Amino acid sequence: MSQLHLHLVSDSTGETLEMVANAALAQFENAKIVRHFWPMVRSRQHLDRIVPDLADNPGLVLFTLVNPETRDRLEEHCRQLGLPAVPALDAVTAALETQLGQEAHGRPGRQHIMDAAYFGRVDAIHFTIAHDDGVGSEDWEDADIVLAGVSRCSKTPTSIYLANRGYKTANIPLVIESPPPAALFGLQHPLVVGLTTAPDRLVQIRRNRLLSMNETAETSYVDSDRVREEIQYARRMFADNGWPVIDVTRRSIEETAAAVIKLLNERGKLETPSHRGPKPI
Mean pLDDT by 10 residues, the chain (281 residues): 87 87 87 91 91 95 91 94 92 81 65 64 92 95 97 95 94 95 95 97 92 83 94 97 96 93 86 42 38
Confidence (pLDDT) at 117: 74
From the list 106, 105, 3, 6, the residue with the least C-alpha distance to 63 is 6
Measure the CA–CA gap between 160 and 162, rounded to whole angstroms.
5
Q: What phi and psi values does residue 4 have, to the nearest 5 degrees?
A: -115, 125
From the list 59, 66, 147, the residue with the least C-alpha distance to 110 is 66
Confidence (pLDDT) at 272: 44
Q: How many CA atoms, within 13 angstroms, populate the side-chain half-sphere of residue 35?
A: 14
Confidence (pLDDT) at 106: 58
Measure the CA–CA gap between 131 and 239, rounded to whole angstroms.
24
Q: Is 169 exposed, middle or buried (0-12, 13-18, 19+ CB in 10 A)?
A: buried
Measure the CA–CA gap between 227 and 208, rounded to whole angstroms.
15
- Is the Cβ–Cβ distance between 152 and 178 less than 8 Å? no
Confidence (pLDDT) at 36: 94
* Per-position b or e across 229-248, b if 16+ CB within 10 A of its CB: ebbebbbebbeebebbebeb
Measure the CA–CA gap between 117 and 123, rounded to whole angstroms.
10
Three-class SS state of 19: helix
Confidence (pLDDT) at 4: 93
Q: How far, rounded to the nearest angstrom, does the alpha carbon of residue 96 sit from its chain's CA centroid? A: 24
